[in-house]
Structure 1
């Protein structure tokens, strides 16, 4: 607590946590009161985003102004019961530049009437990066992340505390589209198809922007004067669900392969009309089901990211954790914006961390004429591997040794290739040969790990 060094509060943990948490904490040191707290909170947000003399104020300056904004609260000590845990000289990382919408479907936003964003209609947005004076920043080149929201909805508090009453508030949370587009010389343009699952009532949506140029310069902005609602009776609908590709950890993964206990599910999605991640309609979410556990269905909507300059495709990276060793399955279901669906299943094997053996050792193609590739699965992700493949005759004479050092980026290695020649570069004759794979590495504790596969067969057939 604030006055008791023997106790650490939850707030203090967020400040002192070594791998994450809060940059600072504006918190109470004594009992405070709701009405005064509301006035103080509103005052903080009034000052939080207002530049002073052309630059953003420090956190300390924001809180000084906020605590003194309401004389009654200051005199009554309520505001004095709040303290700052953090650096008062810190400035929030608010973008240096603005992002402005210029055109919607080719029409200037200054036009008397903009096109309405209707369900299943294709929309094109154009915009630009601007400075504090509203001038184009022509030297800004990078990426912009636009998020298009449906209309705000009205919600109520739960009023679950004794004596509390319901309070209504509005929230704009339903995402119509979340994309990624290029910014060239300060200008950007992107397209998308409005999902069928929007709220068909007419009202103002919102476009929110965040952009960065790769050199620690960023921009942000929003545009709310855009109507969302209704439906396009001639809207786009091909009657086909999205194409789905599934991998674990990286795209070299093969169906039934191995992972550690904390793998990442990778989902590649594509559909000519775009992917539905709006979350407005029951049953139309982007989901994953682990081991047929329908009650534990995983929602992937918030993990979907569109490809750059391409609303028709995108990617999900979803981290799984603490899976039990053994066989597992994941069933992913996706919908396009016209509510056509598709499913795809992937199976994988979680291997215990103590199991450093080589699995699924093979060469492909086999038989081969001129070239083959040796592959195997392992539990040595992110380590430097020294790989040795020894090729022998059936009588046990070594005719070729292949050696290669690689950095393991995943759990599957396909790094060693062979052209069927011996140590002198001469082609080996047709027939059956035997090989074994040995992998040597050093783990994080400095231990040398060496694993050798069983003997496998290959066939040369020219």
Structure 2
């Protein structure tokens, strides 16, 4: 663990986990910085020693020793500099038993990747300097100079490690430290996490003004774009020239193109030969000849705004070819805004243009510019498709708009660019062998994105409509619920190809990384962890039960979903935990899409021309999947990946940053590492993927709680806008050790071990009423409570557009039992299927809804402990179904509640249903009902019943749907006048109920009397309807 201490001026935390950052002395001209390496780990494996440092950054050069280092970013005034000196240092030498682990070389295997650890002797001979001052660079409005500090000095020949345990530096800021310029930036809140001396440097802002070469469209109102052969001379004849206005003087005609020289564009005017062009206008036999400039794009214009005479040649090439195309360019007024916050780039006119406008409307709170990629190419590269043109456009726009934050690319792209492939809508940026959208917004080309960027990876209108619809629903009409407070982490196991991994060194213990992240996340968030090592292989060496467990959590709903482990373009895990090609239809989280983050290789390889990667498929999935996908475009390392997602999710959950801002912040911590660039946002980076805000408090438990105790608590939300909340009480986490003795090192003295925690079971789940934001509740502690010290209570509440969470942690639980409390009998149970008019032996659908009312004076056991679960069995000798999670207590009750569970796929015919439930003292009730399942051939409404009827203020229309259909309820007066229509939307087969508050369409209460209602079910034009009467009696 790293601790950087600064004392006199207290700064905000300097990135994650450096929680004691203070300044010993700080002025604008000088800092005294003290760095302590107080808790690093040296782990020995079979062949190597591995150094771990919580805040350390990692070298990425394969074959070199993997030694962590630190990075301090210092801001200096414009044209400024810094110098440093060592005030003091303490060090200690360690004699190593084995050499330091080398940085792995990643090699593609048959399905994922292998990590090859090979010592490069030459690289191991080098000893890093303790401090390296890197070159000055610009990040947005700041001039930065990073100091690289290497506290571990490794002598490979002697196997010695010198550790600088304490280092005090004096840093002098050189330059105009009294310089003062404030620039308004929406990024402002991010700088304290990134710039060490931000508090004194925040006045040193300056955005250097670069000159960007562009086509001179402002000098003429008339421009004509043509495509021509770049391998021969070309000509235009009257068919093209007749498109020019009659007042065009041939003598003023000019021809331009742009060419790239050493990575930069320049505008050049080409000389032309005008045949039969001596008069004041073009004639039928007029032709214009020009010589190609190794380019296909040329621009014809005329006018007097240019300096100098138009360029001419005085001969023609008889072998010239006619230009391929010629069209007038509509010149749009230059954008003179200086307050832009968002840029959305779409391919070209009429391609994704409507959806771009729709997305801008969704984010109407941001000042946006909508720009076509084609326009950018025309202006910044003369019409040539060039990724650098997009970067230059964005850089110039930011230069004039300091508040600019977001860029969204509307369309898929590939690293094989052409104009006709369905996937090539918006270019990708490839630098060396790495593809990253970051490079469009990395203006200094140092691996630090200056803007937030995301891509909607659609190939056609239908796909883009799916993504836009998801974004709109997520932002405008979100589905609230406790799922928004859940975080799923799935960790790969130790099996890889034909061997084990993750023992000792090699950073491949994915399960350990998962547990470390859980330990970092605050207790307000409910973290679900799935460890693949807990699931068995099938005959095909896959783990389908692990997949089912993961999919179940996603379908129930979780705010974010992280996978840690191996992967490829379509699959996560060697054991095929999830394949985009095979398993996408398992995801049915339409109204609860998750943020998906794959800390693995190639899952986000969106640049493939003829393949859609897993990250893309999840965003494009129309029945759920992800709202945003973040995954690697190529092979990545687990160590840097872990630092990236640890920072990312802490920024999301604790700092409540948007999805895109959080990723930029996490990447800034990693200081231009190649691994970070591999991770791109597929989806809308503006979205807030944030959990409910933690407010208020819960009080009432001051000591350990015991079995059979009735515990009372009170809480508040500091808000008076809610009527009820959901409260859940969890027993302490279970501490577990996983060991694999099959995985031994060379001397067979150690084995694969993971210490991890498993969430404690839920012992109480109920709705509670709120009064002025305050509530109280009671629950009864079951006999089989798990004893521990970190039980917790979570209370969730939501309104139309906001939700909050209340948390009480560190609850001590004891398995001691309070004596003298009698059990007055087993739980009382009433079972229904599909309808509360159900009687044993009735007909029901083949997908019936199970409804069970349960009561007991000692409460109902919902812990789900072994032997105490709520279980259902359909027919004898069939599998038992655990339905414990389907129970919730009635509002403000701890003795009565209802179990609901959707049963699916029951065959037609007679069946029995057996239910087992326990009270909190573990006394069971076993009850059985009989039913006949029937598959209905067409949509029908069965067993329709308004309840209550007569009604006073409200009622529910309850019925059974035989098939999925769109359902509408209409209420009429006795004379037939329509007074209210309720659109219930698409309802699935089985039991349904539609609520009516007794009001007409204007919101007025309806008078006493008899009314007609009609319920219509519409399934693709097939109509079923039922009519009935309801009485209002107040």
Cα distance change of structure 1 residues 341 and 151 upon mapping to structure 2, 3 Å threshold: same
Structure 1 Cα separation of the partners of residues 635 and 960 of structure 2: 59
The 2-side partners of 1:12 and 1:155 are apart by: 36
Q: Are 2:770 and 1:204 equivalent residues in the alignment?
A: no
Distance in 2 (CA, whole Å) between partners of 1:411 and 1:176 is 28
Match of 1:120 among 681, 700, 708: 708
Structure 1 residue ranges without an equivalent (≥5): 105-113, 130-135, 361-375, 386-406, 413-439, 452-462
TM-score (norm 1): 0.70
Alignment partner, residue 870 of structure 2: 286
Structure 1 residues 127, 379: closer, same or farther in 2, change over 3 A?
Answer: closer
- Whole-Å separation in 1 of the counterparts to 2:641 and 2:759: 24
1:328 to 899, 911, 914: 911
| Aligned residue runs from structure 1 range 203-282, under 5 A | 203-212=789-798, 214-234=799-819, 236-280=821-865, 282=866
Q: Does 1:46 align with 2:650?
A: yes
Residue 446 in structure 1 maps to residue 1021 in structure 2: yes
* 1:350 aligns to 2:933 (yes or no): yes
Alpha carbons of structure 1 residues 264 and 359: separation in structure 2 relative to 1, 3 Å: closer
Once the two structures are TM-superposed, the CA of residue 238 in structure 1 deviates from its matched residue by 1.6
1:206/1:6 CA distance change after superposition, 3 Å:
same
Q: Match of 1:62? A: 662
1:35 counterpart residue number = 639
TM-fit CA distance, 1:445: 4.0
Could you give the per-residue CA deviations for residues 168-227 of structure 1, whole angstroms, max 9, x where no partner exists? 12233322212211111010100010010112x442311122112x43332103111321
Residue 411 of structure 1 deviates from its aligned partner by 7.7
Q: Secondary structure at the match of 1:60?
A: helix
Given the superposition, is the C-alpha separation of residues 265 and 450 from structure 1 closer, same or farther in structure 2, using an over 3 Å criterion?
closer
Output the CA distance in 1 between the equivalents of 2:917 and 2:758: 26
Summarize deviations over 1:83-129 as a string: whole Å, max 9, x none.
1111100012432451411323xxxxxxxxx1321001000010111
- Secondary structure (helix, strand or coil) at the match of 1:61 reads helix
Distance 1:179 1:450 in 2: 36
Deviation, 1:33, is 1.6
| Structure 1 residues 292 and 88, CA gap change in structure 2 (3 angstroms) | same
Question: Unaligned stretches of 5+ in structure 2?
Answer: 1-568, 570-604, 745-750, 944-958, 970-983, 993-1014, 1027-1034
Kindly indicate whether residue 741 of structure 2 is the aligned counterpart of residue 143 of structure 1: no
> Does 1:318 find its partner at 2:885?
no
Q: Which structure's relative contact order is higher, taking Cα pairs within 8 Å and 6+ residues apart?
A: 1
For the residue of structure 2 that corresponds to 1:179, the secondary structure is strand
Q: Residue 140 of structure 1 contacts residue 184 of structure 1 at CA under 8 Å; is this kept in 2?
A: no
Mapping of 1:160-175 within 5 angstroms?
165-175=752-762
2:905 aligned with 1:305, yes or no?
no
Residue equivalent to 2:769: 182
The alpha-carbon distance between structure 1 residues 9 and 290, as it changes in their structure 2 partners (threshold 3 A), is farther
Q: In structure 2, the residue corresponding to 1:78 is in which secondary structure?
A: helix
Q: Is the 8 A contact 1:174 1:278 kept in 2?
A: yes
Report the Cα distance in structure 2 between the residues aligned to 1:161 and 1:180, rounded to whole angstroms.
48
1:90 maps to which residue?
687
State the Cα distance separating 1:275 from its structure 2 match.
0.8
CA distance in 1: counterparts of 2:637 and 2:1017, whole angstroms: 59
Name the CA shift for 1:194/1:259 in 2 (closer, same or farther; >3 Å).
same
Residue 235 and residue 187 in structure 1: after superposition, are their counterparts in 2 closer, same or farther (change >3 A)? farther
Q: 1:162 to 1:64 in 2, by over 3 A?
A: farther
| C-alpha displacement of 1:60 | 0.3
Confirm or deny: 8 A CA contact 1:117 1:229 kept in the other structure: yes
Matches within 5 A, 1:358-437: 379=962
- 2-side partners of 1:47 and 1:187: how far apart? 30
Q: 2:619 is matched with which residue?
A: 15
Report the CA distance between 1:10 and its aligned residue. Answer: 3.7
CA distance in 2, matches of 1:328, 1:46: 50
CA distance in 2, matches of 1:450, 1:69: 61
What is the CA–CA distance in structure 2 between the aligned matches of 1:310 and 1:188, rounded to whole Å?
A: 13
CA distance 1:144–1:445, change in 2 (3 Å): closer
Shift of 1:59: 0.5
CA contact (8 A) 1:150 1:205 kept: yes
- After superposition, give the CA deviation of every residue in 1:4-36 in whole Å (9 maximum; x if it has no partner): 243334433322222222211121111112222
Residue equivalent to 1:191: 778
| 3-state SS, counterpart of residue 208 of structure 1 | strand
Q: Is the Cα–Cα contact under 8 Å of residues 940 and 1024 in structure 2 kept in the other structure? A: no
Contact 2:889 2:898 in 1 (8 A): yes
Structure 2 distance, partners of 1:49, 1:284, is: 35
* Whole-angstrom CA distance in 1 between matches of 2:916 and 2:1017: 40
Aligned length: 364
CA shift in 2, pair 1:305/1:5, >3 Å: farther
Which residue number in structure 1 is paired with residue 697 of structure 2? 100
Distance 1:447 1:36, change over 3 A: closer
1:310-345 CA-partner distances (Å, limit 9, x unpaired): 111111211122221112221010000000100111
TM-score for both structures, normalised by structure 2 = 0.33
Q: Pick closer, same or farther for the CA change 1:309–1:35 going to 2, 3 Å.
A: same
Query: Residue 119 of structure 1 contacts residue 235 of structure 1 at CA under 8 Å; is this kept in 2?
Result: no
Assess, with a 3 A threshold, how the Cα gap between structure 1 residues 202 and 378 changes in structure 2: closer, same or farther. closer
- Tell me: CA distance 1:236–1:19, structure 2 relative to 1, closer, same or farther (3 Å): farther
Structure 1 match to 2:338: none
For residues 657 and 895 of structure 2, the distance between their equivalents in structure 1, rounded to whole angstroms, comes to 41
2:736 — aligned with what?
A: 155
Question: Which of the pair is proportionally richer in strand?
Answer: 1
Q: 1: distance between equivalents of 2:960 and 2:881?
A: 27
Separation in 1, partners of 2:848, 2:906: 8
For 2:752 and 2:685, how far apart are their aligned partners in 1? 36
TM-aligned CA distance change 1:37 to 1:351, over 3 Å: same
Distance 1:311 1:85 in 2: 45
SS at 1:165 equivalent: strand
Structure 1 residues 270 and 384, CA, compared in 2 at 3 Å: closer, same or farther?
same
**Offset of residue 302 of structure 1:** 1.2
Question: Is contact 2:653-2:690 (8 Å) kept?
Answer: no
Q: Structure 1 5/196 Cα, relative in aligned 2: closer, same or farther at 3 Å? A: farther
